[in-house]
Structure 1
Amino acid sequence: MVTLDEVLKDLQAESDSLDRLVSALDDKDWSRPTPAKGWTVAHQIAHLHWTDTVATLAAADPAAFVARMSAIEDPLTMVDRAAADTIAPPAELLRRWRDGRQALAEALSATPKDEKLPWFGTAMSPLSSATGRMMETWAHGQDVAETFPDRPDAQEHRRPTDRLRHVANLGFRTIGHSFLSHGERPPAAPFRIELSTVDGQVWTFGPEDAPNRVVGPAEDFCLLVTQRRHPADLRLQATGDEARRWTTLAQAFAGPPGQKREPRQ
Structure 2
Amino acid sequence: MSRERTLAVLADLRAENEELDLLVAGLDGAGWARPTPSPGWSIAFQVAHLAWTDDWTLRATRDPDTFHSAANELLVGAAEFDEIVDLGAAAGAALPPAELLLRWRAGRAAVLEALAAVPEGSRLPWFGPPMKAASMATARIMETWAHGTDVADALGVRRAPTARLKHIAHLGVRTFGFAFAAHGLAVPTEPVRVELTGPDGEEWSWGPAEAADRISGPALDFCLLVTRRRHPDDLALTADGPVATAWLPVAQAFAGPPGEGRAPLGG
| Within-5 A mapping of 1:93-104 | 93-104=100-111
Give the match for residue 263 of structure 1: 264
Unaligned runs of 5+ in 1: none
Spell out, residue by residue over 1:161-209, the C-alpha distance to the aligned partner (whole angstroms, 9 max, x if none): 0111110111111111101112222111111111112321111111111
Give the match for residue 165 of structure 1: 166
Identity %: 51
| Within-5 A mapping of 1:62-81 | 62-71=64-73, 72-73=75-76, 74=78, 75-81=81-87
Q: Does 1:15 align with 2:17?
A: yes
Take 2:260 and 2:143, find their aligned partners in 1: how far apart are those partners?
15
1:35 touches 1:143 (CA, 8 Å); kept in 2?
A: yes
Take 1:81 and 1:209, find their aligned partners in 2: how far apart are those partners?
46
Spell out, residue by residue over 1:97-137, the C-alpha distance to the aligned partner (whole angstroms, 9 max, x if none): 01101111111111122112111132111111000000000
SS in 1 for 2:21: helix
Q: CA RMSD in A?
A: 1.3
Give the match for residue 197 of structure 2: 196
Unaligned runs of 5+ in 2: none
Give the match for residue 36 of structure 2: 34
Give the match for residue 148 of structure 1: 155
SS in 1 for 2:239: strand
SS in 2 for 1:180: helix
Spell out, residue by residue over 1:12-54, the C-alpha distance to the aligned partner (whole angstroms, 9 max, x if none): 0111111011001122110000011110000000000000110
Take 2:119 and 2:259, find their aligned partners in 1: how far apart are those partners?
31
Take 1:101 and 1:250, find their aligned partners in 2: how far apart are those partners?
27
Give the match for residue 86 of structure 1: 92
State the TM-score, normalizing by the size of structure 2.
0.94
Give the match for residue 131 of structure 2: 124
State the TM-score, normalizing by the size of structure 1.
0.94
SS in 2 for 1:37: coil
Shift of residue 76 of structure 1? 3.6
Spell out, residue by residue over 1:135-175, the C-alpha distance to the aligned partner (whole angstroms, 9 max, x if none): 000010011011111xxxx33xx110011111011111111
Shift of residue 242 of structure 1? 1.2
1:117 touches 1:123 (CA, 8 Å); kept in 2?
A: yes
2:163 touches 2:199 (CA, 8 Å); kept in 1?
A: no
Give the match for residue 144 of structure 2: 137
1:113 touches 1:127 (CA, 8 Å); kept in 2?
A: no
